[in-house]
Amino acid sequence: MKDFSFKIPQEIIFGKGSLSRLPEVLKAANCKKVLLVSDHGLESVGVVAKVEKIITEAGLGYAQFLGLQPNPTIDNVNAALEVYKSSGAESIIALGGGGPMDVAKSVGLLATYGGKVTDYAGFGKVPGPVVPMIAIPTTAGTGSEVTASSVITDSETHFKMAVISYYLIPGYALLDPELIMTVPAKIAAACGVDAFVHAEEAYVSKMANPFTDAMAEKAMELIGGNIRQFVASRDNEEAAYPQEKVDAACRAVCKAVYDNAEMLAHMAVDETRMGRYDSKIAKCRNKSKTVWLGMKGKKSRGIIDWDEDTQIAKVASPSASSVPSPRPRTRSSPSCTTPPAR
Query: What is the crossing angle of helices 210-232 and 185-204, to 10°?
Result: 160
The predicted model gives 23-38 an average pLDDT of 90
Least confident of 84-88, 204-208, 232-236: 232-236
- The least confident of 12-16, 17-21, 64-68, 323-327 is 323-327
Model confidence pLDDT, tens digit, residues 239-251: 223 355 456 656 6
Q: In terms of Cα–Cα distance, which of 25, 210, 208, 27 is closest to 134?
A: 25
d(CA 151, CA 163) in angstroms, rounded, equals 6
- CA–CA distance, 206 with 227 (Å, rounded to integer): 27
Task: Measure Cα distances from 315 to 38, 223, 234, 250, 265 in Å.
Answer: 29, 17, 9, 13, 33
- Give CA–CA dist 253/339, Å, rounded: 17
- Region 256-282: mean pLDDT is 75
pTM flag (> 0.85): no
- Phi and psi dihedrals of 161, rounded to 5? -100, 150
Confidence band, pLDDT 50/70/90 cuts, at residue 3 = confident
Cα torsion through 333, 337, 340, 342, rounded to 10: -50
Dist. CA 249–CA 191, nearest whole Å: 14
Who's near 158: CB < 8 A, 6+ residues apart? none
Q: pLDDT grade, residue 308 (50/70/90)?
A: low
